[in-house]
Amino acid sequence: MANIDDILRDLRTRRDELKVRIHLGSQEAQDEWHRLEERWNEFAAKAHVEDSAEGISSALGLLKEELVRGYERVRNAL
């Protein structure tokens, strides 16, 4: 898995770009955004807790992929 700081930077960039456009999107995109914001808060809170532990790293990898796919769904809906 990539460096946790790189992952956070990548996700933060994707999130910030969409955040600017989301208010113009469909209700479906807005609902997805709100769900992703909850997952983002979870990810950001856990990201540096134990980034070297294998279990945490694996769980963060799955959560990262969920966020990336979700951000792509919102982008495509806009």
> Residue written as tokens 């809170």?
45
For 38, the domain range is 4-77
- Choose between 46 and 1: higher pLDDT: 46
**Entry pTM:** 0.57
What is the count of structural domains for the chain?
A: 1
Least confident range from 18-27, 29-38, 63-72: namely 18-27
pLDDT at 69 over 90: yes
- pLDDT tens string 25-62: 778 888 888 999 998 888 888 776 655 566 677 778 88
Which residue blocks in the chain are alpha helix, DSSP H?
4-21, 27-46, 54-77
